Structures are given as C-alpha cells and as structure tokens.
Amino acid sequence: MAAALPAAARLWRQPARPASRAVALPAPPRRACVRGEPAEGGGGGRHDTRAPLRTSARRGAMGRAGRRLPALAAVFYGALAALVLLGVRDVLFLYEENRCSMTYMYEYPEYLKIKLPKKTARRYPAYELYLYGEGNYAEENKNLLLTGIPVLFLPGNAGSYKQVRSLGSIALRKAEDVDFKYHFNFFSVNFNEELVALYGGSLQQQTKFVHECIKVILKLYRDQEFAPTSVAIVGHSMGGLVARALLTLKNFKPELINLLITQATPHVAPVMPLDKYLTDFYTAVNNHWILKAQDLRNLTTLSVAGGFRDYQVRSGLAFLPRLSQHDSALSVVSSAVPRAWASTDHLSIVWCKELILATIRAFFDLIDENTRQITEDPKKRMSVLHHHFVRHPAKTFEENPEAFTELTGAFMWIPVKASKWTYSVYNVSNVFFLIVFLCVFFLLMSNFFFLLRILMENISHFLLQATENHTVMFTVKTDTSSWIYGCMNSNSSMCLEATDLSWRAELLPTTKVVILKLQDYTSLSHIVIQVPPTVGNKYTLDCEFFREDSRTVQLPVTHLFSFGLSSSKILLNSTGLLYNVQLQHFNRIYQAFKIYIESHCQSLKERKPSVYRLHVPWSHEDSIIVAKVPSFTEISAKLHIAQPQNDSRVPELNIYSSSDCQYEVILKTSVLQVLGQIIRFHAGALPVYVVSNIFLTYGGQLSTLMSTGQCSDFPLELVRTAKPYKVEPLISIVVFLQGFNWFREIWESLSLPEVDAAVLSSQDAWFPLVSLILFVFGTGIAYWSGVFFSTSLRLFSSLWLTLIRPTVLQKDNKLITPRRLCGVLSLALVSWTTCGAFAVFIIYLQYLFKVIKLHVNVRAEQNMLNGDSDCSKETSQNSSIYTVKNQSSTDSTLKATQSLSNSTTIAEAVNSLKMHVTILNLFTWIVLLNLPSLIYWLKNLRYSVRLDPDPCRSTAIILVCILEILMNSSTSEVKSREEEFALHRSIATGLKSIKDEILKSLYVMDGNGIITVFLNSC
C-alpha cells in the first residue's frame, strides 16, 4: 500500500483532459484493492506458475508458525502467572485457623478526649489524644484525677484509636481482682487513620505529636503521691516504629519511656517502600538504634509478630535488630508465646485474648511495690517478659524466690524398681508429696531403683537415682504453682530442706514438663513432687530416665527441587516420653516442607494427646500442635528468619509422645509453600520486574518501528525482547561490587538510591536463581496485564461506539499548541500547589481518554474501509482495450488515491495506538504506586490543601510535560528522518523521567539491589 502511494499521487497531479474527449487505455493490471498489493502482471511474456505456489505455501507455513507462537507464549506465560497466583494463594489463604478468642468488654467502652495545649492543637489539627474507660471507672476519670500507671497506645497504618479497648478492658478486670491496689490508665492517639505504611511523609509529624502527648500525660499526674516519670507504650504496626522514632528527636529525653511493646511492627524495613520519606525514616530510626545502643540500655523493648497468618507484615520484618551492646530487646512470634500458641493476623493481634492476657499479666508483674509504677530495673523487666512470652514455668512470677524450702513430716518408704513410672490419682482432697530418692550407682549403671512410701498423713516421698550422664523427665497435668523440689538436706526417712525446681519446668498446651540433667544436680539427694488437691479431677505424673542421644534422631530434609516427589521418613517405636527429630540442612527461608506424623498404638485405652513442637533454636518462632492418639497430623515447616552465619544449631521437631505407640514421620518438599515463601519475601519487588519487562518491550517496539516501519503488538514484542540475560548479569555484577566500599561511595556520589534497605545475609546464597525466578514471574504478570489492559480498552471502545458517534480520524502534526501548553502549565500549578499525585492522576485520565478515543476512531475507520473496499473492487474484463470518459478516469483515480491514503493513515494510527497502549500500561503502574499519597491528601483535604511533604511533586511536573508530548505523538514522526532524532530524544527523556519516578516510587528492596540495576539496564 505504501509503495503504491507515490504512483497514485503522480496520477493525482496530472492535468485534466477535456471531458468530451474519449481515450483508449490499456487494460489495467488486476490488483487486490483490499490488501493494496500489486497483483500478477499481465502481458505477452510467459511466467512460472510454480513460483506463486511455492510463495503461498511458504507464507502459509509462516502464518501457521506465527499463529502457534502467540498461542505457545500465552500458555507459557499463563503458567507463570498461575504459579504467581498459587504463591499468593498460599500466603493469603493457606494458613492455620484462627485459634484466638475474642476479647469482650463487660461495660460500654468510653473514650474521653484529652484537651491539648492550643499550640499543639493548632500545629497538629488532625490528631487527638483519648483516655479509655468503662462504666464507673470512666465516670471517675472525667475530672482527670488519675492515680494509675500511664500506658500509651499508638495505632498503626489506617488504625483506630479505639483498638486500645482490648488492653484497657482486660487491665481493668485485672485491677478489680487486686481491689485496685494497682491499676493502669490507657491512653490512645488518634492518627486520623493515615496510611503511613504506604506514605511516609507524616511519620515525622506523628512522632513529634506523640512526644507532645507524653508531656501532656505526665502533667496529668503531677500532683499525685506516686507520680510517674515515664510512660509505657504499646504500638501496633507502624505505631511501634513511631514509638522507636521518639528516640531520634533532638529534644526527647530517653527516660520518658522505659517499656515499649510492639505488635506486628515492621522494624527491619517497610513492607512496600513507595517513597523516599518512608525509607529515609526507616534508615534514621534503625541507624540511631544501632549507633546509640548504649543510650538505650534503660529501655526494654518487646516485639511480638503475628506468624504466618499475618500476610501484611511478615514476621521476619518484626524482629528487632540484634544489639550486641546490651540485652534489652526481645522478639517473639505469637505462635511461640506460652498460653497463646496461636498465629494472629495483622488486626487480631490487638484483640487476641490469649495474647492480651499475657501482655496484661506482664504489666502487673512489672509493677514496683515501692513506687507503684513500672520498675526501673531493666533486668527485672526482661525477666518478666521472658517469663510470659518465652518460657512459662506454670508458676507465678517471683522476683526473688526463696532459695530453700523446709519440708517436715513423717514418711514411709515404698520401693519401686523401674526406669519409667506413672502415678495417677483421682478425687483427692488433701495435699501430699511424692519423694524421688537419687542414690548413686558406681557399678550397675544400667539398673535404676525406685522407692515410694505413702503414709496416713498423706505425705509420701519417692526416691530415684541415676548416673550423671542421664536425664530425668517429669510430665504432670496440674495447675499448682510450685510442685517439684530438689532435696538438699535429708535423713534416712525424710527431706528436711529443698530447693524449688519448678522454675525449670515448661508449660505446654496439655501438660507441663521439666527436664533435668542429673550432672547439674549432683548435690541433690531427693526430688520431691507436690500433689495438689484433685477434687473431681485426675492427677497424672509420668517420669523416666533416658540418655539424650538415645532420644535424638536425625532426619535430612529433602532437596528444594525435589518438587515433593521424594521424601524422608523415620519410624519411632515410642518407649518414652520425648523424641527430638533434628531436621538437617533446614536453614533457608525458601525451604518449605510438609511433615506428616501418623501415630499407632497397640492398645485402645484412652491416652493423653501428643504434643508436636517445631523448635527453631536461633529465634523464638516455635509452633505447637496438639494431636490425639492415634491420629494423622500434618505440619507445615518453614522459617521466618534464616539461620545466622555463626550459628550451627539445627531446627528440631519435638515429639512429646505416649508410651507403647508408634510414630511414623514423613517429610516432603512443598512446592506451593516454596512459591508462597518467594511471594512472602519478595512480592514487593515484583512491580519492579513487571515495569522492567514493560520497558524492554517498549524499547523493542521503538526499534522495530524505526527498522521496519511497523509496530508489533505488546504481547509479541514482550516474547521477543523480555530476555533475562539482558539484565541478570549486570545485576549480579552490581550486587558483587556493592560489597566494596569504593563502589558504594561512587554509587552514593551519583545520587543513586540505596541498594539494600534490608540485608538478608547469607540466606540468599542462590539469589541469582531467585532473581531469575522473579524476572520470569514479572514477565508473566506483564504479559497478562498487557492482555487484560488491551481487552479492557476494546470493551470501553465498543461501549463508546454504541453510545457516541465517532469522529473522523485526523492527523495532528503539532506536538505543542497554545491550548496544550496552557494545560501543561495548569497541571504543573496543580502539582505544585496541591498534590503531585493528583496532577499525575488527572493527566492519566486525559491520556486514557485520548487512547480510548483513538481506539474508537481506528475501529470506525477500519469498518468503513472494509465496507468501501468491498464496493470498490475493480471488475476488469479480459478485453485488452476499453474506452472510458476522462471524467470517469479522474474519479476512479481519486477514489483509489483516497482509499490508499486512508489505508496509510489507518496503518499509522494502528501503530501509534500500539505504542500508546504500552506507554499507558506503564503509566498505570506509576499511578497505582502513587495512589497512597493521593488518598492521604484527599483524607486530609479539610486540614490543608497542599500535601507537605509531597514525594512526587517535582517528578509529577516532569511527567506532566513529557506525557503531554508522548500522548500527542504518533509513529509517523518516528519514521520521519527530519523529526526522528528530536522525537526519539523526547521519548528517551520521557523514559528517563518515568524511570526516575519509579526509582523514587518503587523503592522496593529485597536485599539484593535489583531495582536500580534493572531500570538502568533497561
């Protein structure tokens, strides 16, 4: 068609002949007017008829291959997108059921607004401070004559100040139990439910407001007898980070807070760092806590993560940085917290009754009886937190327990000869004791002698002995406080003085266990067990001696790429109470396994449930499951934190078993959970890979357009150009060079963003493979997002055609007009005076409208051209000479020329449409990533018209200018030699601006610096 245009134009320029004159013209060659291609020429010479056949056959084969290629690509990238969806499904839906109980208020909750100083209220008009209360307690506090212990609750991202009610209500019930000898006053800050996890511009403002709130709260207690000098803070989500940021303020005194408890707070790095204010805030807070660690010795910090149910903040981000200078920080996962043993989602962690009870119990144990405030002793604070959140001995906390206890009474001995025994009693109203005698064997190390005596006084002692290389284990179902003692002084018939060994016990869901290494208790002569009253209940005590190595089994985990086809299996014939299965080579975050435990018993008698605990020694992220016997149990094994470099400990599966039962343990790699781990740890980086693939595709479209004059479709060009080898080697090189100081200095001197916001240490030894997987996943997402975007445009254009009559497709040769210049200046003014994201969103809608309009016009013109071509086909006869009038010849030439011109215009419009769709697809991702700041601006519009600080103000102005040029450009300018360089330079400038915008907006860090490298390479 393009080749026929010059000839038709020459005919158009020929002078017209008189109308009355007839001319004899040779018969024109037969031409396919629809395709615009020259037909076979007629003439006297013979031609080879086999050549067209071979050509048509070759074209048919190429056509079939061309049709197969998009189909195969669609299937391949559909499979990749399906893998991503499976990983997302594992993260969002495939987790344990919610085992938390709801917290209920016994009286109607009330929130008393605290009046702030006028200067503070004027400076922070959107923020407020409230005091929580219920019933009579709320009425008494309306005059603000407070006498309790102040606790300040800070909500997180889009959080409400009313989330404090669970803590406040349970603390109030606990205070009633002690007749209000001690009680807490819970305050809460209203942050206007701001999206601080996605927009970091208000984090510094929130931090300063909390500082002012602390001053106001302490002033309320100024005239009280036991006036507090500090405030305890509980921060949920980003509220915990704001609390940590208080210490970075210049005028803040660290002694104003002595206890900080955070709930599901991403301490290490932001979940989705979309602007530089958010990342700068994280950098300042974490650097201060590392560099000023000595100044934080008097601050005790506890971070509680939600586990795998919390898909918004993965637990690895909630672990506080390890500070070697002092030991005042503790990080735990809720599934490992005693008495809770449940994973929580991001919202339920603030109302989970089991977790709130542990927090309130810890608060009351932290009270100093002399000051009636939270103790100033950091060691006691850490001891209390360990007691309630790490290892609970099923005993009330005591700061200074008695070293020795006197045991008096008359005893009678009953000999028992066994290495394992069980004692059960039912419906006993009095307290009595079992005494275990530890006699020493010098020769018969394999024999154990047990003596048990019971008297009428309901006091008896059981006496055991074993060699120093053995371990004694007791399991007992009881709710008493102190229940096991070690006898230090005894005679032949009784124990006179004992030490409390109950602190060595550990509480489990159905029982409590104490494991004693006898080599650590050589001075003990007896073990005394107190049996409580069991009216209506059954008391059971199990005891056995065993060597540790005899109960430890090693189970190598299957390879990551076994895809669940192979398995590791062991069979345990239980003769004892505990087995430790060591999971060899289980140390990386990408590893995920399914562990199947099937228990079989010889007899059908009723047995106590078995307890399975997955213990990770380098972090407090254990998970516990209780199973009936016999049963078939499935356990998911995956890590929140990878094994540290200098840690050689191995994760274990602890099986608290039943006697005379058989346990079969099978371990397999779970492909779905491996995908889930990749998504959980690197989902924030996927937009970078998607945008990188769109960049590569757009570059390929430009190259094809300038070389062939035709622009290919987005999916086809993506298949051709999105190749990992174009960027992966450069990524590996840059990641390697980042290990050198001189390279980092050069990187920073070029004002490039930081590569790593969260260093993931050696767990990413095979990161190049992970990066390759993410790149392929990003290609699949880019492919189907492009298909979805194109389909949506077609649907919108079809709706447009049914409602509005399309206009004539016109060619606009001017990129900049006064009207467009006024529009650009107006949007730049909007960006500067209000919100940059708002200006970007406006020009996006304008661009979307123009693309839809262009799509509608192209479809209308194509329909008209197809209709005209059917009516304008030349019907030439076989005669060699025919006669026509001059006017008819001219009209025919005009119609042919007009048809060719319309075809050329439509072809150029189609090429332009393909380019605009790709740019608009890319621009859509930018708009989505800027939405948080736009939403924040809209929510605070009543307080201020101008968003300050604005993360995309300057970049929005650049984007508005560049996109105004791009949206009014067409592919004809690219193919024109005179304007090719200028337009290409403008497009390159636009791409660079968009890349810079993404570098600022998409500050997504996965620990390996892929973002800047990807976009620079593109």
What percent of the chain clears pLDDT 70, i.e. is strictly above it?
74
Residues 6+ away with beta carbon under 8 Å from 742: none
- 959: tokens are 């984007």
Distance of CA 794 to the CA centre of its chain: 34
Q: Label each residue of 79-141 as H, E or C.
A: HHHHHHHHHHHHHHCCCCCCCCCCCCCCCCEEEEECCCCHHHHHHCCCCEEEEEEEHHHHHHH
User: Which is higher by pLDDT, 696 or 539?
Assistant: 696
Q: Which pLDDT score, from 0 to 100, does residue 87 have?
A: 95
CA torsion sign, 392 to 394 to 397 to 398? negative
Q: Which pLDDT score, from 0 to 100, does residue 436 have?
A: 61
Average pLDDT over residues 716-744: 82
Give 429's pLDDT tier (boundaries 50, 70, 90): low
Average pLDDT over residues 269-293: 89
Q: Which pLDDT score, from 0 to 100, does residue 274 have?
A: 84
Q: Does the structure show a pLDDT above 90 at 877?
A: no
Which DSSP string corresponds to 845-864? HHHHHHHHHHHHHHHHHHHH
Model pTM score? 0.83
Average pLDDT over residues 373-393: 94
Q: Could you give the CA distance from residue 749 to residue 755 in angstroms, rounded to a whole number?
A: 13
Q: Which amino acid is at 840?
A: V
pLDDT tens per residue, range 747-767:
777 766 665 433 444 444 455
Q: Which pLDDT score, from 0 to 100, does residue 737 have?
A: 81
**Which residues are identified as catalytic?**
237
Q: Which pLDDT score, from 0 to 100, does residue 995 have?
A: 52
Residues 6+ away with beta carbon under 8 Å from 213: 116, 129, 152, 187, 189
Q: Which pLDDT score, from 0 to 100, does residue 267 have?
A: 94
pLDDT tens per residue, range 959-1016:
898 888 888 877 665 555 434 445 455 555 555 555 554 444 444 334 333 333 333 3
Indicate the range of 15-19, 686-690, 704-708, 827-831 predicted with least confidence: 15-19
Coarse DSSP helix, strand, coil percentages of the chain, rounded to the nearest 5 percent: 45, 20, 35
Q: Where are the beta strands (DSSP E) in 878-922?
A: 881-885
Average pLDDT over residues 231-236: 97
Q: Which pLDDT score, from 0 to 100, does residue 192 have?
A: 92
Q: Please count the other Cβ atoms lying within 10 Å of the Cβ belonging to residue 461.
A: 30
Q: Does the structure show a pLDDT above 90 at 453?
A: no
Burial of residue 614, with CB atoms counted within 10 A of its CB: 0-12 exposed, 13-18 middle, 19 or more buried: buried
**Is the backbone peptide bond immediately before 270 cis, with ω within 30 degrees of 0?**
no
Q: Please count the other Cβ atoms lying within 10 Å of the Cβ belonging to residue 134.
A: 18
pLDDT tens per residue, range 612-647:
999 999 999 999 999 988 889 999 999 999 998 888
pLDDT tens per residue, range 807-834:
666 666 666 788 888 989 999 999 999 9
Give 67's pLDDT tier (boundaries 50, 70, 90): low
Q: Which pLDDT score, from 0 to 100, does residue 810 have?
A: 60
Average pLDDT over residues 190-197: 93
Q: Please count the other Cβ atoms lying within 10 Å of the Cβ belonging to residue 715.
A: 19
Average pLDDT over residues 667-673: 95
Indicate the range of 508-512, 661-665, 783-787 predicted with least confidence: 508-512
Query: 1014: closest CA among 782, 674, 713, 681?
Result: 782
Q: Which pLDDT score, from 0 to 100, does residue 278 have?
A: 92
Give 846's pLDDT tier (boundaries 50, 70, 90): very high
User: Which is higher by pLDDT, 974 or 859?
Assistant: 859
SS3 315: helix
What percent of the chain clears pLDDT 90, i.e. is strictly above it?
40
Q: Which pLDDT score, from 0 to 100, does residue 869 have?
A: 55
Q: Which pLDDT score, from 0 to 100, does residue 760 have?
A: 41
Residues 6+ away with beta carbon under 8 Å from 513: 473, 474, 475, 505, 506, 578, 656
pLDDT tens per residue, range 513-558:
888 887 777 787 777 777 777 666 777 788 887 778 888 999 999 9
Q: Could you give the CA distance from residue 125 to residue 192 in angstroms, rounded to a whole number?
A: 10
Q: Could you give the CA distance from residue 369 to residue 365 in angstroms, rounded to a whole number?
A: 10
Q: Which pLDDT score, from 0 to 100, does residue 987 have?
A: 52
Query: 526: closest CA among 462, 471, 483?
Result: 462
Q: Does the structure show a pLDDT above 60 at 351?
A: yes
- 675: tokens are 């995908």
Q: Which pLDDT score, from 0 to 100, does residue 536 have?
A: 67
- In this structure, the strands spanning 552-556 and 432-437 are unpaired
How far is residue 228 from each of residues 148, 223, 328, 393, 858, measured CA to CA in Å? Answer: 9, 10, 21, 31, 74
Q: Could you give the CA distance from residue 358 to residue 354 in angstroms, rounded to a whole number?
A: 6
Indicate the range of 474-478, 558-562, 923-927 predicted with least confidence: 474-478
pLDDT tens per residue, range 81-105:
999 999 999 999 998 899 999 999 8
Q: Does the structure show a pLDDT above 50 at 452?
A: no
Q: Could you give the CA distance from residue 191 to residue 472 in angstroms, rounded to a whole number?
A: 54
Q: Could you give the CA distance from residue 834 to residue 839 in angstroms, rounded to a whole number?
A: 9
Q: Could you give the CA distance from residue 338 to residue 393 in angstroms, rounded to a whole number?
A: 9
- Give the mean pLDDT of the chain: 79
Q: Which pLDDT score, from 0 to 100, does residue 383 have?
A: 94
How many residues in total does the chain contain? 1018
Q: Which pLDDT score, from 0 to 100, does residue 975 have?
A: 54
